[in-house]
Chain A
Amino acid sequence: MNGNRINISQRRLHFTRRKLLIGGSVTSGLLLTGCEKIGGSATGTSILDTGEKLTYNVQRSLSSRMALAPEFRPDQMSPRFRSNGNTMPASADYATQLAQNFVNWVLRVDGLVDTPLDLSLADLREMPTRSQITAHNCVEGWTAIAKWTGVPLSFILQRANVRSSAKYIVFHCADDFGGTAYYESIDMLDAFHPQTILAWGINDQPLPVKNGAPLRLRVERQLGYKQAKYVMRVEAVDSLKSIGQGKGGFWEDDIDYEWYAGI
Chain B
Amino acid sequence: MNVSTEPNAERSANPMGGDLVKRHRLSTRLWHWLNAFTIFTMIGSGLMIFNAHPHLYWGQYGANYDGSWLDIGSDGTHGWVRIGPLTIPTTGVFGISTGTDGMPDAHAFPHWITLPGDYDLAKARRWHLFFAWVLMVPWLLYFIWSLLNRHLSRDLAPTRAELAPKHILQDIADHARLRFPTGAAALHHNILQKISYLGVICGLIPLMILSGLTLSPGWVAAWPWLYTLFGGRASARSIHFIGMSLIVAFILIHLIMVVLAGPFNEIRSMITGKFRLPKERGEQQT
Contact = CB atoms under 8 A, between A and B. Distances in A.
Nearest to B60: A76
Interface string B119-144: 01111011101111100000000000
Given A20-B256, A142-B62, A143-B61, A70 B219 contact: no
Given A141-B52, A262-B216, A48 B126 contact: yes
A3 to B, nearest CB: 12
Contact of B234 (A16, A24, A143): A143
Contacts of B97: none
A145 B60 contact: yes
A262 B112 contact: no
A95 interface: no
Contact of A36 (B63, B66, B116): B116
A72 interface: yes
Contact of B129 (A31, A36, A55, A79): A55
B52 A48 contact: no
A67 B219 CA distance: 10
A19 B260 CA distance: 12
A67 B217 contact: no
A241 interface: no
Interface string A116-145: 000000000000000000010111111111
Nearest to A80: B65
Interface string B137-154: 000000000000000000
A17 B65 contact: no
A177 B223 CA distance: 36
A13 B260 contact: yes
Interface string B212-231: 00011111111110010000
Main secondary structure of the interface of B (DSSP, over half): helix
B111 to A, nearest CB: 9
Contact of A19 (B61, B133, B222, B259): B259
B255 interface: yes
Contacts of A17: 256
A143 B116 contact: no
A184 B120 CA distance: 21
A135 B61 contact: yes
A160 to B, nearest CB: 26
B9 interface: no
Interface size class of B (residues with CB under 8 A): 35 or more
Nearest to B126: A48
Contacts of B237: 141, 143
A149 interface: no
B52 A139 contact: yes
B217 A54 contact: no
Interface size class of A (residues with CB under 8 A): 35 or more
A29 B111 CA distance: 10
A59 B130 contact: no
A51 B126 contact: yes
A35 interface: yes
A172 interface: no
A52 interface: yes
A79 B63 CA distance: 10
Contacts of B224: 70
Interface string B223-255: 110010000111001000000000000000001
B64 A82 contact: yes
B115 interface: yes
Interface string B165-181: 00000000000011000
B226 to A, nearest CB: 9
A137 B233 contact: yes
B62 A51 contact: no
Contacts of B269: none
30 contacts: A12-B260, A13-B178, A16-B260, A20-B255, A25-B112, A32-B114, A32-B115, A35-B116, A36-B115, A48-B130, A49-B130, A50-B130, A62-B222, A63-B218, A63-B221, A76-B60, A82-B63, A135-B60, A135-B233, A137-B216, A140-B53, A141-B53, A141-B215, A142-B63, A142-B64, A144-B63, A255-B120, A257-B125, A262-B219, A263-B216
Please provide the 6 A-B residue pairs with the shortest distance between their CB atoms, ordered closest to farther: A262-B218, A63-B222, A51-B130, A140-B52, A263-B216, A142-B63
Given A35-B127, A82-B64, A141-B215, 20 more contacts: A6-B177, A32-B114, A32-B117, A36-B116, A39-B115, A39-B116, A39-B126, A48-B130, A49-B130, A55-B133, A62-B222, A69-B217, A69-B221, A135-B233, A142-B53, A220-B221, A255-B120, A256-B123, A258-B125, A262-B218
Interface of B: 40-41, 44, 49-50, 52-53, 55, 60-66, 112-117, 120-123, 125-127, 129-133, 177-178, 215-224, 227, 232-234, 237, 255-256, 259-260
